[in-house]
Amino acid sequence: MRATCSALFVAALLLGSAPATAQNEIGVRIQNGFYRSSGLDLVSTNDHLVGVELGYARELFELWRGSLWAEASYLASPTHAQSFDGQLESKALFQTITLGVMYKLPLWRWLVPHARLGVGVLVGSLGLTPRGGDETLDRSAAFAGHFLLGAELLWPRARRRGFNVGIVVEGGYSFASALDFELTPSRPDDLRAIPVSGQSLGSLVLHGGELRVGAVFRF
């Protein structure tokens, strides 16, 4: 009984301290990153990557004329290419998980400029498949982050509470430490063979300008 009363008391405190007009936001964005790393030539025919970002944000408190939000996001950027006249196929998947803050400064009910800052981890997987051969695969992790400026164009709602939708456009810069890949040919565990060592492919650094366009859902 005492434990039940304590749990109800804590729940009442949490509900009482939460803002009555709490805001939540889900964002889905298409990301186009422009990177000039020479290592990107192995897995891409150009110097940019296209990815999809899914994010969730919650308003923390009002600050000056706007509000400060906490945010978590997941970004996935797959790519593939062929080289040596199709003799070698390469593919990669870059996944970024970030935590950060977002400051929103509404100008009108339908126009909300904002700034986003996030840091987290970048995980990249790289696979190479020669024609007629088996794929070799390696993974690497790096520190990553982004700083973006943008604006949301919202469909106005009649009251503070409720659900509305809008579009978002952002531009800025993303940064990351180097991804180091080393590929070793795979072989069955029960096969007796001369030991082979991995071959380093060098470092791949993904940092550069970004453009993101998508939709936001606020409730």
Q: What pLDDT digit, counting tens, does each position of 69-93 carry?
A: 999 999 999 999 888 777 889 999 9
Q: What is the pLDDT of residue 82?
A: 86
Q: Check the CA dihedral 114-167-208-102 and report its sign.
A: positive
Q: Where are the domains of the chain?
A: 22-183+193-218
CA distance 184 to 128: 10
Q: What is the pLDDT of residue 187?
A: 54
For the entire predicted model, the pTM comes to 0.82
Q: What is the pLDDT of residue 185?
A: 60
Q: pLDDT tens digits, the chain, 219 residues: what are they?
A: 554 444 444 344 333 343 444 599 999 999 999 988 767 887 887 888 999 999 999 999 999 999 999 999 999 999 998 887 778 899 999 999 999 999 999 999 899 999 999 999 999 999 999 888 888 899 999 999 999 999 999 987 755 567 889 999 999 999 999 999 887 665 555 445 444 445 556 689 999 999 999 999 999
> Which class is 22-183+193-218 in CATH?
mainly beta
First to last CA, the chain: 36
Task: Burial-class residue 151 by CB neighbours within 10 Å (0-12, 13-18, 19+).
Answer: middle
How far, CA to CA in Å, does 44 sit from each of 34, 49, 122, 168?
A: 12, 8, 18, 27
